[in-house]
Amino acid sequence: MAAKAGRPGEGLESRVEGFNERARVAVKDERLRSAVAVHSKNTIRNRNAALSALPDAPELRERAYRIKQETMANLDRHLERMASAVEKRGGKVFFANDGEEAVRYIGELARRRGAKLITKSKSMATEEIELNRRLQEEYPELGLEIVETDLGEWIAQLAGEPPSHIVAPILHMSRHRAAEVLSEEAGHPLPPNVEDLVYFARERLRQKFLSADIGITGANFGVAETGTVVTATNEGNEGLVASVPSVHVAVMGIEKVVPRLEDLAVFLRLLARSATGQKMTVYTDFVSGPKGEDEPDGPEEFHLVLLDNGRSSLLGGEFEEALYCIRCGACLNVCPVYRQTGGHAYGSTYSGPIGAVITPLLKGDEEAKDLPHASSLCGACWEACPVGIPLHELLLRLRRRQAETGISGRAQRLAFDAFEFGMRRPGLYGIGAKAARGVQGPLLRDGVARSLPGPLKGWAESREIPHLAEKSFRELWREGRIWWRGGKNS
């Protein structure tokens, strides 16, 4: 197999390693767990209803997978087509190999335009490369103010926290905490009810929308055929970010391109249903370039930043399917591990099963070595994925890559070498079983083991440990003791 480690991408300054430690804390946070549970339950119910009302959902899922497969096979061609369509309409296209190049491009643009205020909306890719922090750190002389305008994202930004869910960024936060954060921004206390908080946010953000020099958005899809950047939102702020400032920058992961408009119809039908259970999001915006001569609205300049950041290294390899993700978050909602830990335990922009897959692929195995193990491989993520990404299989392949590159460690290697040695030799397996039965004696108390040494310690602390039977099935079979009254003896 190809054991080469993916080229590590950039950004994500927070340490990804340490899922176990963070998860251990998170599972004791009842408030967090119940917030995640309520969200998951509602979203799954709505999603199931929306998808079952769509009779061709299974076919759509298959079509979506095939379109992605076909797109990735010729990604460079599709990107070129998209770029030339954008340029034809007067937009500029920049291909950023990594986060640093994207930051520099946007920083220089801000300098040239003398920008002071940047409004943002709807972008995981800029979270991934930590655009806000890096722009402010690397261009301090510009004195940039950068404001997230998605309500949840804005509250997270004010609180200095990263989003904890792809679709619901402040899922981890209570209404009271959100009110606290916004009260601080307001300079006076705000009541913890949604209406008041939204009203305040609207007032405050309206000023930002109107005075921003540059608007930065993400992209749910990019249509190669027409050079159109498509975003699906529920708050309508994306339209204000993309059209009010005189400059609009769309930052799009290169994998978001779809070849034709008709492909878009497949994905748009799946996206909202999978993400929130809506048939469509409230707004679906199409941007194809700066405003035309006869158009009253729109930016003077339009820039499309196509972000690679490690993605192209996955093309044609065993992890390519990770690029098929449309960021709907469905896999998070159904994942029993995510549901116990929330998103911050993953320590990465992308959490849940898809995060456990793409973070090591973009960041490198060493940095994210817990994540491929943060799954019981139950397959719920694969079942829920609207594009049919075999997420649990990709997690297995990542575990294999760790074993083959030695990241899994010597102890595990020795243990599984011994496992193989014993299991290949039935005689030895029998002797080993008898020996283990002898050893377990001292560990048992009232027939129950209370503690185990080494790696099994944590396991034994949380449950009663099954002990070995007095006689194995093999022995019972040999002794011909598998009979019952009125039944046949062996």
Q: Which of residues 362-381 bind another protein (CB under 8 A)?
A: 372-380
Q: Could you tell me the smallest distance in angstroms from the CB atom of residue 250 to another protein?
A: 37
> To the nearest whole angstrom, how small is the minimum distance from the Cβ of residue 161 to another protein?
22
Please name the residues in contact with 455: beta carbons below 8 A apart, sequence gap of 6 or more. 411
d(CA 192, CA 194): 7
Structure tokens at 12: 């994500």
Length of the chain counted residue by residue: 490
Binding residues for another protein, total number by CB under 8 A? 76
276 touches another protein (CB under 8 A): no
- Closest to another protein by CB, 76 vs 420, is 420
Residue 484 Cβ vs another protein, minimum distance, rounded to whole Å: 3
Closest CA to 460 of 441, 444, 446: 444
167 makes contact with another protein (CB under 8 A): no
409 binds another protein (CB under 8 A): no
Q: In Å, what is the CA distance from 422 to each residue of 311, 388, 431?
A: 41, 38, 9
- Rounded least distance, CB 163 to another protein, Å: 21
Q: Which is nearer to another protein, 189 or 455 (CB)?
A: 455
- Of 26 and 85, the one with the shorter C-beta distance to another protein is 26
**How far apart are alpha carbons 231 and 285 in whole angstroms?**
5
Is the Cβ of residue 247 or residue 371 nearer to another protein in the bound state? 371
The CB-side HSE value for 297 (13 A sphere, CA atoms) comes to: 7
What is the side-by-side strand order in the sheet with 283-287? 257-258, 221-223, 228-233, 283-287
- When binding is defined by CB under 8 A, the residue of 195, 294, 464, 480 that contacts another protein is 464
- Residue 471 CB, shortest distance to another protein, in Å, is 7
CA distance 118 to 212: 5
Q: Write each residue from 411 to 450 as x if it is in contact with another protein (CB under 8 A), else as -, in one continuous string.
A: -xx--xx-xx-xxx-x--x---x--x-----------x--
In the chain, what is the straight-line distance between the N-terminal and C-terminal CA atoms, in Å?
46
Tell me the closest approach of the beta carbon of residue 29 to another protein, in angstroms: 11
Of 337, 358, 387, 391, which lies in the binding site for another protein, with binding defined by CB under 8 A? Answer: 337
Q: Which stretch binds another protein (CB under 8 A): 71-79, 99-107, 125-133, 476-484?
A: 476-484
Q: How far is the CB of 433 from another protein (least distance, A)?
A: 5
At its nearest, how many Å lie between another protein and the CB of residue 445? 14
8-state DSSP, 211: H
Select the residue interacting with another protein from 92, 116, 260, 400 (CB under 8 A): 400
Residues 20-79 within binding reach of another protein (CB under 8 A) = 20, 23-24, 27, 33
Asked whether 212 and 202 are in contact (CB, 8 A), the reply is no
Which residues, numbered 212-241, are part of the site for another protein (CB under 8 A)? Answer: none
| Residue number with CB closer to another protein (200 or 429) | 429
Say whether residue 1 binds another protein (CB under 8 A). Answer: yes
What is the per-residue binding string for another protein in 185-214, x denoting contact by CB under 8 A?
Answer: ------------------------------
CB atoms within 10 A of CB 207: 11
CA distance 178 to 173: 6
CB-based contacts of 248, cutoff 8 Å, min separation 6: 214, 215, 216, 217, 241, 242, 287, 290, 298, 299, 301, 302, 303
Residues 6+ apart with CB under 8 A from 127: 162, 163, 349
Nearer to another protein, 84 or 376 (CB): 376
Answer for which of 98, 315, 399, 443 binds another protein (CB under 8 A) is 399
- Establish if 4 lies at the interface with another protein (CB under 8 A): no
CA pair distance 173, 129, nearest whole angstrom: 23
Question: Dihedral of the CA atoms 406, 407, 409, 415 (nearest 10)?
Answer: -70
For residue 2, state whether it binds another protein (rule: CB under 8 A). no
Q: Is 129 helix (H, G, I), strand (E, B) or coil?
A: coil
Cβ closer to another protein: 52 or 207? Answer: 52
Q: Does 5 bind another protein (CB under 8 A)?
A: no
